Amino acid sequence: MFQRRRCLPYVLVQVRGQHLGWRRQIRVLLETWIELQHRFYERTGRAAYCYSERTNVGLFAAAAWRCDQIAIEEFATRKGNGWRGPGRVDLFVQVGRCALCVEAKAIYVRAPRDEEDWQVFWRLVRVRVGAARHEAARASRGSFRHRLGIVFCVISRKLGPSLAHWRREFARDLDAQVPRQTIDFLAAYMPAGRLPAELQRYPGVILAGSATPAAHIAMSSGP
């Protein structure tokens, strides 16, 4: 990504078990989601991830279509576990031959400053991803076997004299932190240029996602 760009954004993608099942395609989808975030920034000077949960879900769906997959937001389904009547899931994505039911959340999270802060940060991310995954698991078994919980973590920081310096320090710390995490997949994006004054507190976004056991089982037998 971005090989020919002068001012390169910070990007990161990590997928556990990336050679198995639907995860063979999810990495490309995450990279495309980052590219769409960056295209919006290049053309408007603003950060799409700051707007809303729906905006981020919409870009994720757009990335699926761009990768020759299919995706529908607000997909109607019948939910299980005692829920009567029709319901909706945030996103239906078909990756290869694998249909995925996705529940997504967007949260604003203070940027960690030391190891203790990072531990709190990852604990919060795991809890929120787990909650989204649990909601996805309530979707009808007849409609979906594979469920994902996704959280868009918009990073917030205190305003300081140098956003560029802060970005370098945060990127270094994030590069060191991510390989230690057991979350199924992670993606991060921070634009390299300036942001409008009202958005400088939100210099980047981290996408974290986790699959239910059914999706894990499916990986061992292919997409």
pLDDT at 205 over 60: yes
Q: Is 4's pLDDT higher than 80?
A: no
Question: What pLDDT is attached to residue 192?
Answer: 86
Say yes or no to pLDDT of 5 above 60: no
Any idea which of 11-15, 132-136, 154-158 has the lowest mean pLDDT? Answer: 132-136
Beta bridge partners of 109: 155
Reference 132, options 95, 93, 90, 99; nearest CA is 90
Hunting for tokens 């919006």 — which residue is that? 40
- Residue 125: pLDDT band with limits 50, 70, 90: very high
How does pLDDT run across 140-151, given as a tens digit for each residue? 555 666 889 999
How far apart CA 2 and CA 38 sit, in angstroms, is: 9
Give the 3-state secondary structure of residue 175. helix
Question: CA torsion 194→199→200→204, rounded to 10°?
Answer: -90
Mean pLDDT is lowest, of 37-46, 130-139, 184-193, for 130-139
Q: What is the pLDDT of residues 171-199, one digit of tens each?
A: 999 999 999 999 999 999 999 888 887 78
Burial of 221 (0-12, 13-18, 19+ CB in 10 A): exposed
Angle CA 90–63–182, to nearest 5: 70
In contact, 67 and 59? CB cutoff 8 Å: no
CA-closest candidate to residue 215, choices 123, 107, 139: 139
Residue-wise pLDDT for 56-102, tens only, equals: 999 999 999 999 999 988 887 665 555 455 567 889 888 888 888 89
Average pLDDT in the chain: 84
| Model confidence band, residue 215 (pLDDT cutoffs 50, 70, 90) | very low
